[in-house]
């Protein structure tokens, strides 16, 4: 599956902001790449306090990005090429400018004074005072994103209506945003202090608390998740659950899949990565990713020389693999906006897709909302058809992926760098370290990180996939 951040994929009208017609114009790139589905980050009307995740109309389209007819046209174009369309469903909060906040305030979580020590995901208190009423409302993210109360039947019915609306427009499923925030302790009691480190990045004041009451309240998960499943029917639902792999079970009772965040944040050592993928592979339906719109790109985290090994890893694991736009050409983090567009520092991962080597990367004929990063060095046009390119490696891996069978069996996980595992008759060998490593792989090499890579002398960031005869 391929994630598109619409504002940064392709601009069709020269205003410097990507849009749905721009996505439609690039559908053939997705087909050539070989992906099976596209996930669109939000295109809904939004004041953009949180990059579009603060939604003021869950069944609308931001006029800056297109129209409802464009969504239908995109779904049709993808379907004609054998691809599915997933939308971002944001069920746990709205924009503070959503009509519900004034017209149906009962749909949100309120208190007469801050009742607990809960912290917002980006740091700071999770309660803010509403200047009009004098009461305090809960926001798990920015103050402009008040939390919905999923214990209320009208909230459940309204969000089920959102799901059904988009299914009626040709959508095939949803990536469900921030799903661990859908159930909170009904008594709004304090979160206890954390006794062991949380495995993912968090601001210090958030990391100090065990968020067992402000989020991931397991006793309250079943009803809202079943409501989403009922509305979606058999359509695909993948959950963004910002929790360790061991805590994903209750979500997978109702979803088709959930993201294994541990892979994104694992130390880039063979032993650490092996431990993460072994845990994730034991899930019935894991989804894997190594970058997205919220975190640094792969090469900026682990080193550009390791990007190809990361691609081989991602696209040979059992389950579902998500590629973030630009990863297929090895894009790195950009410099961000000046002044910043995102106040949580995520601009670097959201720079425009680079289609050609011109200064704007072929993204727009105008001035891009964020500058192009390095189109003269990395672009689709510059890599298409070149056997040694990152783009052609991704295409080869996606073709190979459908032939891989069975679960995952680790053969070697050397802290010094060598990771070897099997998928049925295929053996994957990767060098995640800094020195040369030798890998004994049976069979014929069918994909390598670059032409001429020798498994007997894997350099840093190199890797192969070999298949036994038969």
Last residue in a domain, options 360, 386, 406: 406
Instruction: Provide the pLDDT for residue 469.
Output: 77
Q: Is 426 found in the same domain as 353?
A: no
State whether 192 and 260 are in the same domain. yes
Q: Could you tell me if 398 and 431 lie in one domain? A: no
Class of residue 469 by CB neighbours under 10 A (exposed 0-12, middle 13-18, buried 19+): exposed
Cis peptide before 323 (omega within 30 of 0): no
On whether residue 456 sits in a domain, the answer given is: yes
Same domain, 160 and 292: yes
The tens place of each residue's pLDDT in the chain, 470 residues long, gives: 999 999 999 999 999 999 999 999 999 999 999 999 999 999 999 999 999 999 999 999 999 999 999 999 999 999 999 999 999 999 999 999 999 999 999 999 999 999 999 999 999 999 999 999 999 999 999 999 999 999 999 999 999 999 999 999 999 999 999 999 999 999 999 999 999 999 999 999 999 999 999 999 999 999 999 999 999 999 999 999 999 999 999 999 999 999 999 999 999 999 999 999 999 999 989 999 999 999 999 999 999 999 999 999 999 999 999 999 999 999 999 999 999 999 999 999 999 999 999 999 999 999 999 999 999 999 999 999 999 999 999 999 999 999 999 999 999 999 889 999 999 999 999 999 999 999 999 999 999 999 999 999 999 999 999 998 76
Q: Which of 144, 177, 256, 328 is catalytic?
A: 177
Question: Is there a single domain that holds both residue 339 and residue 451?
Answer: no
Within-domain flag for 314: yes
Give the β-pairing of 2-4 and 257-259.
unpaired
- Residue 216 and residue 350: Cα distance in Å, rounded? 28
| φ/ψ (deg, to 5) at 140 | -75, -15
Tokens for 263, please give them: 């892979």
Residue 24 domain-assigned (yes or no) = yes
Measured CA to CA, the distance from residue 38 to residue 322 in angstroms comes to: 9
Here the tokens at position 430 are: 């990767």
CATH number at residue 78: 3.20.20.80
Residue 220 maps to a domain: yes
Task: For residue range 103-145, list pLDDT tens digits in order.
Answer: 999 999 999 999 999 999 999 999 999 999 999 999 999 999 9
Out of 62, 240, 256, 333, which one is annotated catalytic?
Answer: 240
For 422-431, write each residue's pLDDT tens digit: 999 999 999 9
CATH number for position 456: 2.60.40.1180
- Classify residue 413: in a domain, yes or no: yes
Residue 434 in domain: yes
Q: Do 36 and 25 share a structural domain? A: yes
Q: Is 153 exposed, middle or buried (0-12, 13-18, 19+ CB in 10 A)?
A: exposed
Instruction: Report pLDDT digits (tens) over 219-276.
Output: 999 999 999 999 999 999 999 999 999 999 999 999 999 999 999 999 999 999 999 9
DSSP string, 235-279: SEEEE---S-GGG-HHHHTTSSEEE-HHHHHS-SSHHHHHHHHHH
Signed CA dihedral, 128, 131, 136, 138: sign only: negative
**Residue 361 sits in the same domain as residue 423:** no
Domain around 456: 407-470
- The reply to whether 262 and 346 lie within a common domain is yes
Domain end among 356, 390, 406? 406
Q: What is the pLDDT of residue 416?
A: 85
DSSP 8-class letter at 385: T
205 as an active site residue: the answer is no
Mark which of 406, 436, 461 sits at the end of a domain.
406
Q: Is 101 domain-assigned?
A: no
Do 221 and 81 sit in the same domain of this protein?
yes
- Do 323 and 429 belong together in one domain? no
Instruction: Looking at the structure, tell me whether residues 162 and 273 fall in a common domain.
Output: yes
Active site residue 256: no
Q: How many domains does the chain have?
A: 2
Q: Is residue 25 part of a domain?
A: yes
CA–CA separation, 389 vs 394, rounded Å?
9
Answer yes or no: do 422 and 398 share one domain: no
């Amino acid at each position: 599956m391929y994630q598109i951040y619409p504002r940064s994929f392709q601009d069709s009208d020269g205003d410097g902001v990507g849009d749905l017609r721009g996505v439609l114009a690039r559908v053939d790139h997705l087909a050539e790449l070989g992906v099976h589905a596209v996930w669109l980050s939000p295109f809904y009307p939004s004041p953009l306090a949180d990059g579009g995740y603060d939604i003021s109309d869950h069944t609308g389209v931001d006029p800056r990005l297109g129209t409802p007819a464009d969504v239908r046209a995109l779904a049709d174009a993808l379907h004609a090429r054998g691809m599915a369309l997933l939308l971002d469903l944001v069920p746990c909060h709205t924009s503070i400018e959503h009509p519900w906040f004034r017209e149906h305030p009962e749909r949100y979580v309120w208190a007469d004074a801050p009742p607990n020590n809960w912290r917002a995901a980006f740091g700071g208190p999770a309660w803010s005072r509403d200047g009009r009423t004098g009461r305090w409302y809960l926001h798990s993210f920015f103050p402009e994103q008040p939390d919905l109360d999923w214990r209320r039947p009208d909230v459940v019915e309204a969000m089920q209506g959102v799901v059904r609306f988009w299914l009626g427009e040709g959508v095939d499923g949803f990536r469900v945003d921030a799903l661990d925030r859908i159930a909170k302790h009904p008594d709004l009691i304090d979160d206890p202090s954390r006794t062991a480190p949380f495995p993912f990045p968090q601001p210090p004041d958030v990391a100090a608390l065990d968020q067992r009451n402000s989020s991931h309240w397991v006793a309250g998960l079943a009803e809202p998740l079943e409501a989403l499943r009922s509305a979606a029917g058999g359509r695909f639902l993948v959950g963004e659950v910002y929790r360790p792999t061991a805590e994903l079970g209750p979500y997978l009772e109702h979803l088709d899949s959930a993201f294994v965040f541990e892979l994104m944040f694992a130390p880039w050592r063979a032993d650490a990565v092996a431990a993460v993928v072994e845990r994730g592979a034991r899930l019935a339906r894991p989804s894997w990713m190594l970058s997205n719109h919220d975190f640094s790109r792969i090469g900026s985290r682990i080193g550009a020389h390791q990007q190809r090994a990361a691609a081989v890893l991602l696209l040979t694991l059992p389950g579902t693999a998500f590629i973030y736009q630009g990863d297929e050409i090895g894009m790195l983090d950009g410099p961000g906006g000046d002044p910043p567009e995102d106040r949580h520092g995520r601009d670097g991962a959201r720079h425009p897709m680079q289609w050609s080597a011109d200064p704007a990367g072929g993204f727009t004929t105008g001035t891009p909302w964020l500058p192009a990063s390095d189109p003269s060095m990395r672009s689709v046009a510059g890599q298409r058809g070149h056997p040694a390119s990152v783009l052609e490696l991704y295409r080869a891996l996606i073709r190979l992926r459908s032939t891989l069978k069975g679960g995952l069996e680790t053969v070697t996980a050397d802290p010094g760098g060598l990771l070897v595992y099997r998928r049925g008759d295929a053996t994957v060998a990767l060098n995640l370290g800094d020195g040369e490593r030798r890998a004994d792989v049976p069979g014929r090499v069918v994909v390598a990180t670059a032409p001429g890579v020798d498994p007997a002398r894997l350099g840093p960031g190199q890797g192969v996939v070999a298949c036994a005869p038969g």
